[in-house]
A and B are shown apart, each in its own frame.
Chain A
Amino acid sequence: MAARYDGRVAPYPVPMLRTAPLDTEIAGAVAAMHAALRTAALPLPLAGMQELREERARALEQLDDYVLPRLAEPDAPAVVVVGGPTGVGKSTLVNTLVGHPVTTPGTLRPTTRSAVLVHHPEDAAWFGPERLLPTFARAGGPSEEPHAVRLVASERMRRGLAVVDAPDFDSIDEGNRELSLRLLAAADLWLFVTSAARYSDEVPWQQLGDALARDTPVAVVMNRIPPEDRATVSAHLTRMLDERGIGRDRLFLVERGPVDEDGLLPASYAAPVRHWLDALGADEAARTALVRQAVVGAVRRSLALAGPVAAAATRQVAAVDDLLTLVDATYDAAGAELSGRLGDGTLLRGDLLAQWHAFVGRDDLLTLPETMGVLRTHLLAPDAERAAATDRLGLALDLALETLVVDHAERAAQQAAEDLRSGPHGDALLAWSEEDLARAGRGLAGRARKEISAWRRALVAQVRAELGDLGEVGARALAVALVLHAVSTPGRERGTPELVVAARDGVRQLASGLLAQERARYLRPVLGWSLAPDAADRLRAAAAKAERMLDAVGRDA
């Protein structure tokens, strides 16, 4: 059967543009805007942030994948990406266009898992590493390495034009979808393939709408048309395309036909598409104009994001300020209270108090000199039982201190969480952390245990150094006694022994250090975000400059 080249299909209409080179100055401005767009930090999940982040990620991806490499190599071959939903025969079409099988069409969905780029052998250098499409992984051979681009040289391609067979963008395979959408965003021209069964599917039309919105040049192929339905579906599709501003001169109809064992349709079926691509390859001016349209469209898309991203970055800085102010207030108060508790005798209760009474053998509180007296009589010649009682007492002190610190940390965290929730960004602020910020840190108890016992060992060493006549057990008991005395008296009265002062300062420092680490849970991620208050202004300035340059090019043209 002959191809039905119905005469309405004309080569892609090219406005006569002067081929002003996409000069390096624009490339510089775009690169600067790219950097500013990327560095504007949007860490907190404030309202609308998720969408904005995704849009920005896609725009940045397109700048990396396509715009920057293309600006660096404006004369490289134009890249035509053949894309569409699953099962419309993209691979068959590409094979037929090239004239021999370069990709494996299949019946099981999804089929094409890696993309295939077909170019003329002499164009190979353009697609080397760090040139066109530098960010796409290159697949080594036809081994169906998933989600990468495989390069195939073919004499049948025209120089100056490369064709990519992209995977489908609507199947259940996430990787396919991602690679396909990235390739479409990197296209100088999108050859949108659909089929008679598919042409009114929602997903492809959404993608087509996106491409049109960013001014990517598009041509449409309707594949696999049953001959008897040709009139009906082509009329309907033409109407749908008209509504979206795609002229019928960019629509190609390919009928369902016999596929040979190489996966090719008879050449005549795809002839109109082939002729059109050849004409495009031969016309350097048309190609340049095409590339320019795609590049300018892509840059404008990023420019449109600059304003919203800058505003969002400003909001982020303000929100983080709120967060830190509030956290500071809460933890300052908690620290002050903890310090007070370490001077009002709160610690000497419950189990620790019982252990202490058992140790000194008296139930009433003793003054420090009395205590010293008792200890001396008990500990000048300690037996094994005394040593064990000293250990128990020390452990009771450690546990009481740990519990006191953890309790204050718990209350501070809860207070901070409640205050945050009642503020405007509260939930967002709490949501970013993997830790539950309404609770004390998970590692706090363990860390407290370790630091407390290290601190007590140091204090024992100090006691031994100053009062050499005490044995090891005596020094340990005295160290506990000093701490208990220190935490039961608020200030530093005149004449307080040096060691009591040291014990009091030590325990307060220890406690406030532990609490400071709790506060650091809020600070640590914030430092990682590298929020810059001037990021928004830099982005606006960079975007304005890039826009001026684009406008200047537009006037030149």
Chain B
Amino acid sequence: MPEPGPRIKALETAVEAARGHLDEGLLADAALTVERATGRLRLPAEHTIVAIAGSTGSGKSTTFNLLAGAELSVSGAQRPTTSQATALVWSEEDVSEILGWLGVPPARQHRRADLDPRPPRHRLPEGLVLLDLPDHDSVETAHHREAERVVALADLLIWVVDPQKYADAAIHRRFLRPLAGHRDVTMVVLNHLDTVPEERRADMLRDLRRVLVADGIRDPRILGTSAREGLGTDELRTAVRRRVEERPNVALRVEADVRTAAGRLLEAAGDAPTELPPGWVGDLERRVADAAGVPAAAARAERGADPGLRVGPVDRPAVDTAVRAFADRLCVDLTDAWAAPLRSAATRGLAETDDRLDAELAALRFPDQGAGVARVLGLARWGCAAGAVLSALLLLVSGLAVVPLVVLAAGAVAAHLAGHRAVTRAAARRGAEVEDACRAVVARVLRAQVVDPVRVELASYGRFRRAVDGAAR
């Protein structure tokens, strides 16, 4: 079990990185998770806080008393009964700090040592802080708030349900579904089993499992009990003991909280690459260069025809469309939280982008030297060709000095061919120079107007994303 500290830190960072992007309420919830987790970790981990929660009348207090072996919590027929949490501490150490953090009033704090008669030490695991919570579904809405508050703080949760109420919407919607990721620190007890005919009990437990699985809890821990008849209480006590003694419950609870909170943040933000994937900027530059007519200008330069070569103006709709497509591709799986600023960063200055492209491309000058050299080379080349023809004629007519004339003719042909290659190469170089110069302008303008602003927003998303991934890992 890794330390939960870095995870909490990561969630805190994620909350900060998401400010201004995600819903304030959502961020406040996540910040509260950070605060609770930090608060819990500051307190000693050798004490385990186990909360017994449930509906009114399901037998929370009876279960509590049964585990304690003493009548601590008032249980009664009149509903609802418990209005504030009651605590039983199974430890000799001073736990006032924990109880203060939990907000259990002094009158409702009990210690094993205070009980009369004092129960055997081994009845419950050492270090246990057992809480009996108010109900969450009665007409007394103050109870709900108190129950919700303490449920959020306890390390281990025991939900007590009963045959009448186990499928109530109240408990499933409000608690079990949102806490579906807390399976490791959750136990569900089906109490009042004595009111169900014996042959139907197994079916009912199976049905409860079905309902819990439908809540999203995979393989829920379920126990059937009857607090009134003492049915299953030994098993419950053993289960609690093993859970408390064998598992790092504090870390498990904190981890489940942080993970759930991080999952919600991620869901609200959506998914995107945190850096521009390789090739995307190149694609954009190519499309914009096409829209500026760069390939055509390069081809013209290659033909060597135009001494006053100008590039542009750009096809503005085509540039705008290319930039929008670039942003859309980035935002495909993002929610508006980051998609809106990203898109705005890309398209905010579109008119200015077009203007700058036009101005800077128009300012490009392409010196004509390449073309002059090519002309001289071309003349020399045809001179060589003429020499070769002349040599061949002389050879035919005179029949003299065969060897030197053959050498001369061959040399002239070779020079002509070499000249052709040089001319072609020079033309290609001129084309490439124009193309490079234009592309450099396009790249520069796009970087300043589109790519850099997008990177700024992407970096903000990246900070958030790395932190959330760290928290949800």
The residues of A with any CB-CB pair to B shorter than 8 Å are: 85-88, 107-110, 170-173, 177, 195-203, 205, 226, 228-229, 232-233, 236, 240, 346, 349-354, 357-358, 363, 400, 403-404, 406-408, 410-411, 414
Contacts and interface: CB of A to CB of B under 8 A. Distances in A.
17 contacts: A108-B203, A170-B170, A171-B167, A172-B172, A197-B165, A200-B139, A200-B140, A202-B137, A202-B141, A349-B291, A350-B291, A352-B315, A353-B293, A354-B293, A363-B305, A400-B317, A407-B321
B66 interface: no
A403 B197 CA distance: 74
B317 A406 contact: yes
B129 interface: no
Given A86-B164, A109-B207, A350-B315, A232 B76 contact: yes
Given A86-B164, A171-B169, A172-B167, A403 B79 contact: no
B166 interface: yes
B79 A236 contact: yes
B348 to A, nearest CB: 11
B439 to A, nearest CB: 15
B204 A403 contact: no
A346 B306 CA distance: 23
A385 B140 CA distance: 87
Nearest to A259: B197
Contacts of B207: 108-109
Interface of B: 55-58, 76-80, 137-141, 144, 162-170, 172-173, 196-197, 200, 203-204, 207, 211, 214, 290-293, 295-296, 299-300, 305-306, 312-318, 320-321, 324, 347
Contact of B293 (A107, A232, A349, A408): A349
A466 to B, nearest CB: 31
Contacts of B138: 200-202
Of A199, A349, A410, A411, most B-chain CB atoms within 10 Å: A349
B290 to A, nearest CB: 6
A407 B316 contact: yes
Given A108-B207, A349-B314, 20 more contacts: A107-B197, A109-B164, A109-B207, A170-B168, A197-B57, A197-B79, A199-B79, A201-B138, A202-B139, A202-B144, A205-B139, A228-B77, A232-B77, A233-B78, A346-B315, A349-B312, A357-B300, A363-B300, A403-B317, A407-B317
A195 B192 CA distance: 14
Contacts of B78: 232-233, 236
6 closest Cβ contacts across the A-B interface? A354-B296, A87-B164, A350-B315, A229-B77, A109-B167, A407-B317
Contact of B139 (A108, A173, A201, A407): A201
A240 B295 CA distance: 86
Nearest to B171: A172
B311 to A, nearest CB: 11
Given A107-B203, A352-B315, A197 B164 contact: yes
Contact of A350 (B163, B165, B290, B324): B290
Contact of A403 (B76, B77, B300, B318): B318
Given A170-B169, A351-B291, A198 B164 contact: yes
A98 B320 CA distance: 76
Contacts of A197: 56-58, 79, 162, 164-165
A197 B162 CA distance: 10
B352 to A, nearest CB: 14
Contact of B77 (A85, A196, A350): A196
A410 B324 contact: yes
Nearest to B312: A349
Nearest to B303: A363
Contacts of B169: 170-172, 177, 203
Contacts of B162: 197
B159 to A, nearest CB: 15
Contacts of A363: 300, 305-306
A536 B140 CA distance: 41
A200 B141 CA distance: 11
B315 to A, nearest CB: 3
Contact of B163 (A87, A200, A353): A87
A177 B324 CA distance: 48
A406 B321 contact: yes
Contacts of A87: 163-165
Given A202-B137, A202-B170, A203-B137, A351 B164 contact: no
Contacts of A198: 57, 79, 164-165
B43 to A, nearest CB: 33
Of A203, A229, A403, A414, most B-chain CB atoms within 10 Å: A403
Nearest to A236: B78
Of B58, B76, B78, B196, most A-chain CB atoms within 10 Å: B78
A43 B24 CA distance: 28
Contacts of A85: 168
A173 B172 CA distance: 11
A205 B137 CA distance: 11
A203 B56 CA distance: 12
A108 B165 contact: no
A87 B171 CA distance: 15
Nearest to B322: A403
B167 A351 contact: no
A353 B79 contact: no
A350 B295 CA distance: 9
A224 to B, nearest CB: 8
Contacts of B295: 354
